[in-house]
Amino acid sequence: MEDLGEDHLARITTARTRELGHELHLARKRANLKATTVAEELGWSPGKLSKLERGWRQTSDWDYGTLLGKLGADPQTRARIHRIASEPDIGHFIRTFDGRLPDSLLCLSIHERSALTLCSYEPILIHGLLQTEAYARAVINPDGTYPADEHDLMVTARMQRQEVLGAPGSPEAVFYIHEAALGNKIGSNQVMHDQMMRLAFMCEWARLSPRVIPRSGRGSAHLATGFCLMTFAKPVRPVAHSDMDFATIFTEEEKSIELYQRKRMALASLALNAEQSRLMFARWADVYDRREDRDDRGPDLA
């Protein structure tokens, strides 16, 4: 496949090709090989490998196989990369959790880290990026089905994912939270009190705005389902995603993004402002603090 002009390369970058490129980059890093060395030994120009790893271009199945062979990639990595490379770019794709959580999805993490803005809505739970560790433990393992060590790994992954909000160049993030999520008791009253206080404190963060949609407000069909919409520096197109129990659906198709933009504007019109939201979190914290089992933390929620 011939190299294309830079304008065309930028135009065709997609969420899928960026995920594919990052997979290739990680495979090369695991092999502890420099990009220039790999390109030279394969007879490629340095630009070809660079564009592949940045998601600016694709290549043939033969080239992918040759590259992965040079990198000594394991069978699982080979299968994953070939699967991503063979997917058509139709504007939507699904990534399953493989028995874990969306926190483990590479496509999600690389886009959260590079986003300029992030807008999320959750109707019944606190978003994973805002959860306390105790709340996350209760959400991740509600039935106690995961072994302790696996549960710990999942919680750790979620806590590490939250680092994106405090990192240099973090996105301007707005999290719309329906009041139903504040009243949905997860874990003990102590867990909920601490979660409400965390949200109240987060209202003071410079680039983060948790906003409550009150039960007393007017209804809207836009409140039915959760989503997250991310925007990036041009020419990268916006990407939206929504979670199911076993998979996350990603989309960057134009009409879908327009729908999420309309949802975003509708939610903004329904939500309390920053100070009103902070007071709402504080009131709910007081509610949980006054309940009888507020000190019943449980051994795994301490």
Q: What CATH number does residue 162 fall under?
A: 3.30.870.10
Q: Is the pLDDT of residue 222 over 90?
A: no
Domain-located, residue 119: yes
Does pTM surpass 0.75?
Answer: yes
Buried/exposed code over 22-38 (b: 16+ C-beta within 10 A; e: otherwise): bbbbbbbeeeeeebeeb
Q: What is the pLDDT of residue 264?
A: 95
Same domain, yes or no: 137 and 23: no
Same domain, yes or no: 40 and 107: no
Q: What is the Cα 260 distance to its own chain's centre?
A: 16
Q: What is the pLDDT of residue 284?
A: 97
Domain-located, residue 196: yes
Q: Is the pLDDT of residue 10 over 50?
A: no
Q: Is the pLDDT of residue 11 over 60?
A: no
CA separation, residue 113 to residues 79, 110, 164, 207 (Å):
25, 5, 6, 14
Q: Is the pLDDT of residue 218 over 80?
A: no
Mean of the pLDDT values across residues 250-271?
Answer: 96
Same domain, yes or no: 263 and 174: yes
Domain-located, residue 29: yes
Mean of the pLDDT values across residues 235-254?
Answer: 94
Residue 296 confidence class, pLDDT cut points 50, 70, 90 = very low
- Tokens 């065709």 -> residue: 12
- What share of the chain has pLDDT > 70, as a percent? 92
Q: Is the pLDDT of residue 299 over 80?
A: no
Q: What is the pLDDT of residue 142?
A: 79
Q: How many helices (H) and strands (E) does the chain have?
A: 13, 7
| Residue 167: CA count within 13 A, CB half-sphere | 14
Mean of the pLDDT values across residues 39-68?
Answer: 93
Higher pLDDT pick, 143 / 214: 214
Q: What mean pLDDT is reported for the chain?
A: 89
Domain-located, residue 216: yes
Domain encompassing residue 267: 93-289
The two structure tokens encoding residue 256: 């879908």
Domain-located, residue 70: yes
Q: Is the pLDDT of residue 297 over 80?
A: no
Mean of the pLDDT values across residues 18-24?
Answer: 96
Same domain, yes or no: 173 and 61: no
| Residue 2: CA count within 13 A, CB half-sphere | 3
Q: What is the CATH number of the domain that holds 37?
A: 1.10.260.40
The two structure tokens encoding residue 1: 């496949």
Domain-located, residue 295: no
Same domain, yes or no: 198 and 238: yes
pLDDT in tens, 103-138: 889 999 999 999 999 999 999 999 999 999 999 999
d(CA 7, CA 12): 9
pLDDT in tens, 161-189: 999 998 888 999 999 999 999 999 999 99
